[in-house]
Amino acid sequence: MAINYYYFDDDPKPTISETAKGLSIFEDRLKVNAFQHEKWDDQVSFIIEQQDSFDGLILDWSLNNKNQKGDIANYNVEALAQQLRRLIIENDRLKKDFPIVLCSANYRFNEVFCKEVTGHDLFDAIYEKDQFDSEQSVVINQLEDLANGYKIISLEKAIERLLNTTAKEDIDYRIIDFFENNKEAPTHELARFLLNSVIKPTGILIDEYLLASRLGIDIISGRNKDWTSLLEIIDSTKYSGVFSKGWNRWWMSKLDVFWEKTFEKSLGSLNGNERVMLLNERFNLNLDSYKVSKDDKNSFFWVKCKKTNRPLALEDAVLASSDYLQAPWVEDEYYSLNVALREDISKIHPIEKDRIKKIKANYTSTRIK
């Protein structure tokens, strides 16, 4: 049965219907139903009355325009999401939990919303509307997977089964403790914890770009036709638990085990060229290693640039600022030096700021001469 989302926006009905249509191209998997917003009481009542007909909500960030009745929303979406979460916890009028997704076409959306940290915990995913076209398949997969994940979490609280691993050693003990101590928590809190503290960030799981970096492979240029073949070979390291269809991830612990069993060497002891050479020889592949840029010093790749996703050795990476609430098992993020020199200094970690300022000053004085 297809997943159903209700989508509320303040744009004209034909406009939001067209947006919903673009997200519903696979109607057997995902159907998005478009609605103009209502006033507060009517909006909340409508959602409560329709709760058996949808699996998730998509809310436009800014409800400033009048609807067809001539009404302007007398609330913001953060307040609406907060009210719905409260009603879900009360389990009185809202009898089920569901994902709430935020979207916006506002050109200042990221700039403003990133400062409103209190609202970040209310939404399971956040998109710019341009992504509905430019990353259509990714967005569809994630919306579908969010709703299915909520259903799974509402019935299953064992972390090993949620992450689909039989090896407890793959999971940081603090993640295990969190689930053992929060079995009665609402589904949206457990889903948020899994997404924001386990699946999306680098930690026990890594994304495709970091996987390529740690294997020394160039997937940035698009030349590596054998990359898909390699992914099939290392399929045992692929994460297959809750939310895995929307977010492709790999187990770092399983990757280490695969490498040491296959090559009897540790992954980190080899540079990128050596890693790729071993993979090509062992599996008869034609993978290209990532070439060190003129700003880098070595090819012992282990991290990636936060902005460009290109592989970096720790020696060549600049530490990015981090969230003080970041989970202890989550790894730091980095910029390449070239990117760090162009970024706002507030995005650079305090321990790196003097270094970046000196490099910028030196570069400026050199140009003046």
- Element containing residue 316 per DSSP (H, E): none
Q: How is residue 118 written in tokens?
A: 């209190």
Look at residues 304, 270, 275, 298 and name the one whose alpha carbon lies nearest to residue 288. 275
- Element containing residue 296 per DSSP (H, E): none
Helices marked H in the chain: 13-22, 40-49, 77-90, 109-113, 131-134, 136-155, 159-162, 173-181, 187-193, 208-215, 227-233, 252-263, 272-283, 337-340, 350-368
The separation between CA 231 and the C-alpha centre of its own chain, rounded to angstroms, equals 20
- Element containing residue 305 per DSSP (H, E): none
CATH superfamily of 3-155: Response regulator (3.40.50.2300)
Q: What residue spans define the domains of the chain?
A: 3-155, 162-368
Per-residue pLDDT of the chain (369 residues; tens, 9 = 90+): 899 999 999 999 999 999 999 999 999 999 999 999 999 999 999 999 999 999 999 999 988 888 999 988 889 999 999 999 999 999 889 999 999 999 998 766 766 666 555 556 899 999 999 999 999 999 999 999 999 999 999 999 999 999 999 878 889 999 999 999 998 999 999 999 999 999 999 999 999 999 999 999 999 987 778 999 999 999 999 999 999 999 999 999 999 999 999 999 999 999 999 999 999 999 999 999 999 888 788 999 999 999 999 999 999 999 999 877 788 999 999 999 999 999 888 889 999 999 898 888 876 544 433
The helix/strand/coil state of 130 is: coil
